[in-house]
Structure 1
Amino acid sequence: MDVFVCAGCGAELTAPVARVALPDHAYFGAWEQLHPPLMESGTYAVDPLPTGQPWRLWDEVGEELAARQGIYAPVYSVSFGPRGRIVIAPGDSRGMAFIPEKCEGYCMGVDGRDGPNLACTACGSAVATRLDDCGLWQAVWLEPDAVRRAPSGLPAVPVPSWDELDPQSYAVAPVELDGSWSFRWEAAVTVALAHLVVACDARPVALAGPLADLLGDAVAGYLPAGPPALTLGLAGPRRPPLRPGADVLLVPRHPSTGEAWRPPDGTVPVVPLDIGVWAYLAAPRETSPVPATGRLPDGVLRDDYPPPLRPWRPFLPHPYAFSHTLARLPAVRRPALRAYRDRFCTP
């Protein structure tokens, strides 16, 4: 476990936290909606790519310099902000106070438009940015040059292996209680779609079972139709042995490292997916305990499972997550994918 302290005076700025993977949905929310915290209490994540101001237009940056910033396809603007910003849950922040003149926002909170809006209360240095406006996951982003990591005195949290993980403990339902799609699902599935386009070189893909039921319409909107279609299979820890035939595998990302699960032979391309979404797709479907035929015996009370929640609209991929992710995959520069990008994506 670590704590982050002010680089200027050494004051503690966080509770003890353990590193986990940066969530797929970190930058993708729903406009004019309030969101819960991005991070679980007691955790932090690091974004290795440049984020935030200053921004420069693509036309003045060019492909070579943009690639050094982690952008491999035309976008409207390229960030030249710092690499390595650290994100924590707001409740894990310590010893910080708002900078009043930097608390602008759209309508429901602060959005960090003026740069870091939290200062160390011990020395007054600007050290972090609090986000909680509509469309943003609630978070505190620590500036990498303003803080440093220090030991907390608590034992390190071991990183579990795939064999030690229980994927079902991470499962996230796709539908909220009000019938809306989970924001996390909308973002994570869309991020996986971008990886799928790269893994199959923008060729048609066939889905089956729960993948077709939940994701068929989304895939159809981003990949060409018609034969010859590749097949997408579900694979990962605690799944039955892989059957031959799947051309591409949908696999979970490790919750601590962010690395994609790999099959034992490692020869089939994989598409990484948020482990919470993957675990729901991989879960065995329960059925209500009623007789296969006939009726319940006299004197036996019904004890059916509640019906599953149904969304009130079809699944819609996040409008920004796809192009944002695709532009950050180096393979998008391959000829087939460059042609796909020119047809389907605009800067």
Structure 2
Amino acid sequence: MAVVFACVRCDAVLTAPVSRRALPVHAHQKYGHQLLPALMESGTYAVDPEPSGPPWRPRSEIGPDGAEARGVFAPVSGLSFGAPGAIVVAPGDTRDTVLIPERCGGYCMGLDGSDGPNLACAGCGQEVGTRIDDCSYWQAVRLDPRAVRRLPTDGPACRTIEWEALAEERPGTPPVEQSGRWDPRWEAATGAALAHLLAASEGAPVTVPDGLLTDMFGRALAALLPPGPSAAPTRKAALAGPGLPALTQAGDIALVPCHPQTGKAWQPHSTAPAPAPVVPLAAEVWTYLNSPHERLPVPATGGLPDDVLRDDPLPPHPRRPLRPDWAIFLNTLAHLPAVHQPWLRRIYDDVRDHPYVAPF
């Protein structure tokens, strides 16, 4: 159902009515040096389960056991011990908030939140959250869960999207922008999925079908997994999910969608003794991969059908190979217990020490 968030001190309503969605995989991405759009769609909110903001503690102080208790299984520079559960909304969905002038620092073109909470309730002055809109960041407002409370609001109940209707109701995001850049959401989704794909491979070589899946994972798998013959047989990763045939070959790895509202990965219905391991993909990427988008190069008379290759505008083509987002790759891999395996830990350490080496 739709809700609003109100100030805990004076009950002033601070947001438009919003419905819950899963936190996007690119929520913590830093990309380029240009202004990025809003992280959340208008009318939606997400909850970030991870702690955020100060105080920060270095790994040397936390220790491996303390980090693992937080779900972090590989070395990181430090961890936030701020409040978990920040409510993330689009900046345009906030109401009756004001900026705190002395906390409006940023790196370049806007606010980056480095000075602490920079938004206050306009009615009573209570600090309520942080607006982030600097270059390189997806624009968002992060409301402090200790400073706001959720209130129901009038309106129709939010319907959960059925898996079978996912592609129809959540059309995919094209992978390449008109400028020829890969969409940063695809780079983020590829970085997260690559971490899961390596863990599912168990160190064996992995192949993917030709096309966009090769663009996403081909270079990375060739660079990070052992080349040529291996003691373990080659495994095949392929799309699986609602409306697709089940993967039946032993060793297959299923690339499945994450539900855009719940964030849960689709699970195959299999009676096999060893069902295929699943690799979660962002819904907007999976639905694009699962839909035909190549326009056919055939002549047409009369009208020009939508599925015919056009020369105006030209279909966008990437100017360079897709590079998985290395920071999201490392963060995802650090949260997987499989990173304890020596071969996977070596990959983690190599990428952490040399993040700008191919394929990243």
TM-score by length of 1: 0.92
Q: Quick one: structure 1 residues 99 and 284, their matched pair in 2 at CA, closer, same or farther if it must change by over 3 Å?
A: same
Residues 29-38 or 336-345, more deviating: 336-345
User: 1:234-273, aligned counterparts within 5 Å?
Assistant: 234-245=239-250, 247-265=252-270, 267-273=275-281
State the 1:229 CA deviation: 2.0
**2:236 matched to 1:231?**
yes
2:190 and 2:216 in contact (8 A); partners too: no
Task: Give the Å deviation of 1:213.
Answer: 4.2
Asked whether the equivalents of residues 215 and 322 of structure 2 are also in contact (C-alpha less than 8 Å), the reply is: no
* Residue 336 of structure 1, CA deviation: 4.5
Matched, 1:324 2:331: yes
Q: Give 5+ residue unaligned stretches, structure 1.
A: none
Q: Which residue of 2 aligns with 1:278?
A: 286
How far 1:45 moved relative to its partner?
0.4
Secondary structure at the counterpart of residue 170 of structure 1: coil
In the TM superposition, what is the alpha-carbon distance from 1:343 to its structure 2 partner? 4.3
Q: CA deviation at 1:41?
A: 0.5
Q: Deviations over 1:326-347 (max 9, x none)?
A: 1122332345433443444349
Q: Which residue of 1 aligns with 2:222?
A: 220
Aligned partners of 1:137, 1:340: CA distance in 2, in Å?
Answer: 28
Aligned sequence identity (%): 50
Distance 1:98 1:302 in 2: 52
| 1:301 CA drift (Å) | 7.6
- Please state how far the C-alpha of 1:60 moved relative to its aligned partner: 1.5
Number of residue pairs matched by the alignment: 341
Letter in structure 2 aligned against 1:318? D
| Mapped partners of 1:192, 1:168: distance in 2 | 23
Gap change, CA 1:95 and 1:66, over 3 Å in 2: same
Amino acid at match of 1:323: L
1:57/1:76 contact within 8 Å kept: yes
| Cα separation, 2, equivalents of 1:209 and 1:168 | 27
Q: CA deviation at 1:279?
A: 1.3
Q: Which runs of 5+ in 2 are unaligned?
A: 355-360
Rounded to whole Å, the distance in 1 between the matches of 2:292 and 2:9 is 52
Q: 1:170 to 1:222 in 2, by over 3 A?
A: farther
Write the distance in 2 (CA, Å) between the matches of 1:21 and 1:122.
Answer: 30
- 1:246 shift after superposition: 5.4
Number of the residue aligned with 1:141: 142
Q: Distance in 1 between matches of 2:154 and 2:112?
A: 34
Pairing 1:6–2:13 present: no
1:111-260 equivalent positions in 2, closer than 5 A: 111-166=112-167, 169-210=170-211, 211-227=213-229, 228-245=233-250, 247-260=252-265
Q: Distance in 2 between matches of 1:213 and 1:138?
A: 28
Q: Decide which moves more: 84-93 or 230-239.
A: 230-239
Map 1:32-71 onto structure 2 (within 5 A). Answer: 32-71=33-72
What is the TM-score when the length of structure 2 is the normalising length?
0.88
Mapped to 2, the partners of 1:302 and 1:112 lie a distance apart of 50
Give, in angstroms, the shift of residue 199 of structure 1.
1.5
Q: Which residue of 1 aligns with 2:358?
A: none
